[in-house]
């Protein structure tokens, strides 16, 4: 099954990093967040990726092209330029069993447009889709099982992220309850990690379409959008604050999204 990843946005709210690289290439623990996302999918057996490029897409192309060499011990013949990764040594040859299509979907293209431009590469069956800037500990096989159980066109993963600040409940100027960074009440939000049928392309007009607007609104109106409620960890990386939090979790050795060894 194909996995589409949108990795072409400007990432303007993370400008401290994205002035030189696309947001999916901002590193957590020395690896781009895009790598973390792909590792999570591959842990559940989904290893065929189609990545929508846009802003600084050449950065992602170079990373993928050099991935094996940069992640392995090497034997290099200066005579003929042959390069061969060592299977063992100080480290190991990191050859993830992935197939990756890197597709230029244009610089100004919106999310819906990027998805539609991936249509020729996503096959003719069910496919998965996510954004290139968020991690979670979602059981992707359970997500797919849920999608197949309802027979609708689209499944979106619904999440309830923690609030940025502590919440106070006040009666007569007295704090009756204090919750440090509670869940946002009963508000579920779009956490991406979609499972989609090819009919979803009929809801996307073209490059200027925001997937989060007309397509998802239309699917909901037609009763074709179902929500997989995820109660576990989820975090997008929109700001430096988010990056610092993810980095701290990774350095602690207890990153919830790390489902691989």
Query: Helix count (H) and strand count (E) of the chain?
Result: 7, 16
Relative to beta strand 134-136, strand 167-171 is unpaired
What's the pLDDT at 62?
94
| Contact indicator for 73, 176 with CB cutoff of 8 Å | no
Q: Which two tokens stand for residue 176?
A: 């009756």
What's the pLDDT at 93?
45
Domain ranges of the chain: 2-251
Give the distance, in angstroms, between the CA of residue 253 and the centroid of all CA atoms in the same chain. Answer: 21
The helix/strand/coil state of 79 is coil
What's the pLDDT at 110?
97
pLDDT in tens, 8-67: 998 888 888 888 899 999 999 999 999 999 999 999 999 999 999 999 999 999 999 888
What's the pLDDT at 92?
47
Rounded Cα gap, residues 248 and 261, in angstroms: 19
What's the pLDDT at 85?
77
Q: Tell me, which fold does domain 2-251 have in CATH?
A: Spore Coat Polysaccharide Biosynthesis Protein SpsA; Chain A (3.90.550)
Relative to beta strand 127-131, strand 194-196 is antiparallel
- pTM of the entire structure? 0.89
What's the pLDDT at 90?
47
* Residue 182 buriedness (CB in 10 A; 0-12 / 13-18 / 19+): middle
- Residues in the chain where the model's pLDDT stays below 70: 87-95, 163-170, 173-186
């Amino acid at each position: 099954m194909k996995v589409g990843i949108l990795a072409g946005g400007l990432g303007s709210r993370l400008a401290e990093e994205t002035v030189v690289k696309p947001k999916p290439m901002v590193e957590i623990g020395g690896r781009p967040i895009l790598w973390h996302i792909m590792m999570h999918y591959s842990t559940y057996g989904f290893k065929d990726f189609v990545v929508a490029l846009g802003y600084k897409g050449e950065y992602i192309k170079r990373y993928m092209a050099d991935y094996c060499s940069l992640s392995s011990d090497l034997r290099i013949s200066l005579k003929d330029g042959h390069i061969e990764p060592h299977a063992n040594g100080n480290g190991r040859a990191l050859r993830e069993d992935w197939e990756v299509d890197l597709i230029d979907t244009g610089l100004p293209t919106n999310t819906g447009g990027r998805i539609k431009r991936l249509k020729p590469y996503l096959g003719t069956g069910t496919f998965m889709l996510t954004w290139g800037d968020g991690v979670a500990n979602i059981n992707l096989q359970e997500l797919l099982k849920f999608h197949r159980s309802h027979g609708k066109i689209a499944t979106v993963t619904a999440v309830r992220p923690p609030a940025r600040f502590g919440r106070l409940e006040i009666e007569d100027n007295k704090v009756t309850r204090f919750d440090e960074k509670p869940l946002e009440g009963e508000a579920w939000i779009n956490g991406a990690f979609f499972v989609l049928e090819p009919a979803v392309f009929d809801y996307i007009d073209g490059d200027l379409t925001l997937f989060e607007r007309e397509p998802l609104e239309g699917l909901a109106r037609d009763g074709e959008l179902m929500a997989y409620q995820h109660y576990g960890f989820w975090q997008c990386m929109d700001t430096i604050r988010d990056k610092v939090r993810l980095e701290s979790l990774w350095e602690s050795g207890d990153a919830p999204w790390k489902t691989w060894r």
